[in-house]
Amino acid sequence: MKRFFRTIGGKLSLFVCCIACLCLLAGSAALGVFLLEEPQFYTASEAEIYTDYLSRPLRGYGYSLLADILHQHAPEADWGNAVWQVQDASGTVICRSRSAGGVQDWGFRFDYGYFPSNEERFELRYLWTSEEREQGMEVYTVSFALKEGLPMLDELALTARLVHVGWTLRYAVFFIAFLALGLSIASFVGLMCVSARRPDTEELRPGALYRVPFDLMLALCVIGFLLLCLLLDGATSSEAATLAAIGLMGLLGANLVLGLSMSAAGRIKGHTLVKNTVIGFCLRKLWQLLRALGGLLGKLPLVWRTALVFAGISLIEGIAILLCWYETDNLAVLWVVEKLFLFPAVLTLALQLRRLQKGGEALAAGDLGYVTETGGMVPALRRHGENLNRIGEGMSAAVEQRLRSERMKTELITNVSHDLKTPLTSVVNYAELVGREAPTEGKLREYADVLLRQAERLKRLIEDLVEASKASTGNLEVELAPCDAGVFLTQAAGEYQERLAAAGLTLVTKTPEKELRILADGRRMWRIFDNLMGNALKYALPGTRVYLSLEEQDGEAVFTFKNTSREPLDLPASELMERFVRGDAARSTEGSGLGLSIAGSLAELQGGTLRLFTDGDLFKAMLRFPIVLIRRDASHPPKGECS
């Protein structure tokens, strides 16, 4: 079936079917509208409707016929399918047509009133009822009889046939219209599908007129159709001829529309409907010209381009003012048109600038993955948007590289520390054995002591490296439990009181009157205190005080460590938290420079913070932990508390 409809015969069948269905649709739709406007087709009999519709043209012809007779112009010819006679008030026939001699039954009679005494103007009335007769009026009766079968094609015959068809199809016409509509759509769609197709190939095979520009072909068809309409309109002289001309023009118009639709379908399939047009060709050339001008403008700086656009708009406004100097209305119209063009352009430019602004704000806020949409932007703004996107991509790559480097460094420290720890343990153990087994000679004993001391120092450094690596990556296990914050302060004071005194330092402590409880891991917490107090022991100036206090601030327990540095503090406080940074630039003291970094990481793992402050030689560390409220029951002491 598909192959058949792609042949010339199949396409012709679909074409004829579509035309026939369209004609049927037009006729049924017109008849349906006519029936809806004439409800008597559903309330009266066919004979009554027939008489009513034929009476209308006969009544008008009777008026003109009687007027001619009263003006002494007596016609004798029949009026198409109707024969006639005219009688005066007494019933005497004063005039009749040639074929009216043998007529016995006059089916239509119409009375007209005439005032013979009115000499100023001719007055003739149709009398609907006998009560409309007036004093001094002469009454004439015009009678009509129809010829058998209405052999002539005139207005009476057309009216009679229309009444018969309308009466017969008064209910079925709407179903016919819907059926014709469905068949028209189906045949039209089928015809469009097989247009420009051949049964032996799937490739497009358009017709001979395919290369003719579609808009030119459309214009020629429309002009030819209009000229033909004018010729037929001048050639028709009767109502029957006019109806025939209308039907012919409708049929011709349907054929033209269907043929143009087939051509358009083939062009759409080949993607040449717009391309192969005169208008499309002109628009493409205009677009190429505008692009060339845009390319020339694109080479100019943005300021110069803006100045040229402004000058062009001003020039157009000046020309419009000169042309419409005395036409205020035209000038106002041109002003409105100009603003209608300028407003979308300015609004589009503002929206594009807003997109660039949002992209800059996103990058400033740290959202490096934000992509500024540059589609539809003017070239200068598009380049700026692309630069913003490249900035985000570059920054993302740099951040990713930095994070990868940090991860690799942390993993390197962890792995190397683990690799060094095992042989170092053996060195320490054997250094102890050498110290025990060595003779009492001074030099050998001294060498063994140095070896043991440095091995222990290296072991502590490696342990600090491992712990710093685990703390920064969050791999340390932390068991949080309610703790009395004052216990840590008391423990630190007891542990370091004598050691600080031996170094010439005085420890000053300050504890709150009430108990402050925090969630912490006792073992990790003591490591923080040990690092901070050991830092004071190493770097504090002898003969000064070391302050250790605990107080409550804004719902937090705040530990404060303060001491006076022995060496000048030339480093910012934030740099002191970095790894391997020590308070003495000469690095003459023992230590790895990891203590403060480890303390900060451990504080964060327990939900606290560690911040450093320097003011001249004053060093201050503030350790903050949120205070928790614990309900105490004397009979059931809390479980899991740190000691």
SS3 of residue 409 by DSSP: helix
> Taking residues 233-252, what's their average pLDDT?
69
In this structure, is residue 255 part of a structural domain? no
Structural domain that includes position 333: 300-360
Whether 97 and 172 map to the same domain: the answer is: yes
Whether 354 and 374 map to the same domain: the answer is: no
Whether 503 and 432 map to the same domain: the answer is: no
Whether 38 and 174 map to the same domain: the answer is: yes
More confident residue, 474 or 480: 480
- Which two structure tokens, joined as six digits, stand for 236? 């028709």
Angstrom distance (rounded) from CA 22 to CA 76:
44
Give residue 461's pLDDT: 65
> Taking residues 189-212, what's their average pLDDT?
78
Give residue 637's pLDDT: 45
- Which two structure tokens, joined as six digits, stand for 245? 């001309």
Mean pLDDT of the chain: 78
Whether 448 and 584 map to the same domain: the answer is: no
Q: 8 pLDDT exceeds 60?
A: yes
Pairing of strands 506-510, 545-553: parallel
More confident residue, 127 or 244: 127
DSSP output for 560-582:
EEEEEBSS---S-HHHHTSTT--
Angstrom distance (rounded) from CA 132 to CA 414:
125
In this structure, is residue 642 part of a structural domain? no
61-65, 453-457, 490-494: the lowest-pLDDT one: 453-457
> Taking residues 253-264, what's their average pLDDT?
83
In this structure, is residue 160 part of a structural domain? yes
Sign (positive or negative) of CA dihedral 363, 366, 368, 373? negative
Specify which residues 93 forms β-bridges with: 87
Give residue 548's pLDDT: 92
More confident residue, 425 or 636: 425
3-17, 156-170, 555-569: the lowest-pLDDT one: 3-17
Chain segment 89-122, per-residue pLDDT in tens? 888 888 888 888 778 888 899 999 888 765 556 6
Among 173, 194, 215, the domain boundary falls at 194
Per the CB < 8 A criterion, the answer to whether 267 and 211 are in contact is no
> Taking residues 524-532, what's their average pLDDT?
86
In this structure, is residue 543 part of a structural domain? yes
Give residue 418's pLDDT: 60
As for how many domains the chain has, the answer is 4
Q: 609 pLDDT exceeds 80?
A: yes
Q: In sequence order, what are the residues at sequence separation of 6 or more whose Cβ sits closer than 8 angstroms to the Cβ of residue 594?
A: 464, 465, 467, 468, 579, 580
Q: How confident is the model at residue 583 (pLDDT cuts 50, 70, 90)?
A: very low
- SS3 letters across 583-609: CCCCCCCCCCCCHHHHHHHHHHHCCCE
Angstrom distance (rounded) from CA 47 to CA 49:
5
Whether 463 and 491 map to the same domain: the answer is: no
Chain segment 530-566, per-residue pLDDT in tens? 888 888 888 888 999 999 999 998 889 999 999 998 8
> Taking residues 200-211, what's their average pLDDT?
73
Residue burial 157-181, b: 16+ Cβ < 10 Å; e: rest: bebbeebeebbebbeebbebbeebb
> Taking residues 462-475, what's their average pLDDT?
63
Highest mean pLDDT among 116-125, 201-210, 277-286, 407-416: 277-286
Residue burial 204-236, b: 16+ Cβ < 10 Å; e: rest: bebeeebeebbbebeeeeeeeeeeeeeebeeee
Whether 471 and 339 map to the same domain: the answer is: no
In this structure, is residue 291 part of a structural domain? no
Whether 325 and 448 map to the same domain: the answer is: no
Give residue 141's pLDDT: 92
Per the CB < 8 A criterion, the answer to whether 603 and 609 are in contact is yes
SS3 of residue 487 by DSSP: helix
Give residue 549's pLDDT: 92
Chain segment 275-285, per-residue pLDDT in tens? 788 888 888 88
109-123, 216-230, 516-530: the lowest-pLDDT one: 109-123
Whether 444 and 521 map to the same domain: the answer is: no
Q: 586 pLDDT exceeds 70?
A: no
In this structure, is residue 176 part of a structural domain? yes
Angstrom distance (rounded) from CA 86 to CA 586:
144
Give residue 569's pLDDT: 76
Whether 43 and 176 map to the same domain: the answer is: yes
In this structure, is residue 106 part of a structural domain? yes
Q: What is the CATH number of the domain that holds 508?
A: 3.30.565.10
Angstrom distance (rounded) from CA 12 to CA 6:
10
Angstrom distance (rounded) from CA 89 to CA 138:
7
Whether 482 and 400 map to the same domain: the answer is: no
Q: 426 pLDDT exceeds 70?
A: no
In this structure, is residue 609 part of a structural domain? yes
Q: How confident is the model at residue 573 (pLDDT cuts 50, 70, 90)?
A: low
Per the CB < 8 A criterion, the answer to whether 134 and 124 are in contact is no
Whether 144 and 43 map to the same domain: the answer is: yes
Task: Report which of 453, 422, 420, 423 is spatially closest to residue 435, judged by C-alpha positions.
Answer: 453
